[in-house]
């Protein structure tokens, strides 16, 4: 099914996913070129075309500033309704934003550990939530959301950094990410540098 994006296509799609909202208007190809470090519109267009063919980007027929992401047609949750498997997107804090589609791998998750909303699974990397009983190697079930309530544990993408799992506290003018590890300190950011990618709703660990 999924035509398996090439490396560059994945990169470009990730960039679009994460930065498309940064532009006041949808960007022109030239603007995207400079943003992506390309020098040729034509080259970019070729890549975008591939993404359109893959169904990830809305086709823009000669329109100006016409680049939009395609509606994810209820994709992530229930490609197989009644199926209790969720996509495993890889490890968090592994050094990059959560990848879009790349990994077709899924793992079974009991309904009890998830919500009715779209969810996905990540493997935890590191000890930043150890005092909350979330250990290195655990699998966490994340509900896909871009907003969180204070006190929830979220997958947060910090500008120019990794995606991490932290307890969030949003105050006017600043967002604080609290690790649950006595050896680590809370981190404070301007709100627009912190992007919530999901909220923790379940956790699993195997001992064998």
**Which of the choices a copy of itself, DNA, none does residue 17 contact, using the CB cut-off of 5 to 8 A by kind?**
none
Nearer to DNA, 66 or 76 (CB): 66
Locate tokens 């909303």: which residue?
117
Are the C-beta atoms of 51 and 57 separated by less than 8 Å? yes
- Angle (CA) 37 38 39, round 5°: 125
194 forms part of the interface with a copy of itself (CB under 8 A)? no
161 forms part of the interface with a copy of itself (CB under 8 A)? no
Shortest distance, CB of residue 190 to a copy of itself, whole angstroms? 27
**Which of the choices a copy of itself, DNA, none does residue 30 contact, using the CB cut-off of 5 to 8 A by kind?**
DNA
Catalytic site includes residue 128: yes
**Which of the choices a copy of itself, DNA, none does residue 124 contact, using the CB cut-off of 5 to 8 A by kind?**
none
Region of 77 (left: φ > 0; alpha: ψ -120 to 50; beta: rest) is alpha
Which spans in 96-185 are helix H?
none
Candidates 199, 190, 62, 65; CA nearest to 140 is 199
Q: What CA–CA distance (Å, rounded) separates 61 from 2? A: 23
Q: Per-residue x/- marks for a copy of itself, 22-61, CB under 8 A?
A: --xx------------------------------------
Locate tokens 């959560």: which residue?
98
Q: What CA–CA distance (Å, rounded) separates 26 from 127? A: 39
* Binding positions for DNA, rule: CB under 7 A: 6-9, 28-30, 33, 38-43, 45-50, 60-67
* Binding positions for a copy of itself, rule: CB under 8 A: 6-7, 10, 21, 24-25, 64-65, 84, 90, 94-96, 102, 105, 107-113, 115, 130, 133-135, 138, 143, 153, 200-208
């Amino acid at each position: 099914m999924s035509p398996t994006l090439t490396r560059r296509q994945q990169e470009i799609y990730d960039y679009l996913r994460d930065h498309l909202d940064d532009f006041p208007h949808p960007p022109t190809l030239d603007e995207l070129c400079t943003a992506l470090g390309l020098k040729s519109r034509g080259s970019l267009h070729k890549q975008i075309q591939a993404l359109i063919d893959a169904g990830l980007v809305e086709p823009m027929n000669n329109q100006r500033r016409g680049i939009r992401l395609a509606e994810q047609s209820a994709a992530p949750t229930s490609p197989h309704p009644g199926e209790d498997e969720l996509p495993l997107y890889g490890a968090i804090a592994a050094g990059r934003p959560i990848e879009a589609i790349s990994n077709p791998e899924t793992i079974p998750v009991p309904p009890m550990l998830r919500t009715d909303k779209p969810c996905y699974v990540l493997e935890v990397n590191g000890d930043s939530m150890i005092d909350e009983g979330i250990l290195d190697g655990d699998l966490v079930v994340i509900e896909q959301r871009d907003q969180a309530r204070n006190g929830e544990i979220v997958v947060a993408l910090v500008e120019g950094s990794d995606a991490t799992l932290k307890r969030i506290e949003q105050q006017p003018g600043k967002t604080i990410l609290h690790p649950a590890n006595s050896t680590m300190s809370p981190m404070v950011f301007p709100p627009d540098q912190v992007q919530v990618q999901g909220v923790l709703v379940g956790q699993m660990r195997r001992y064998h």
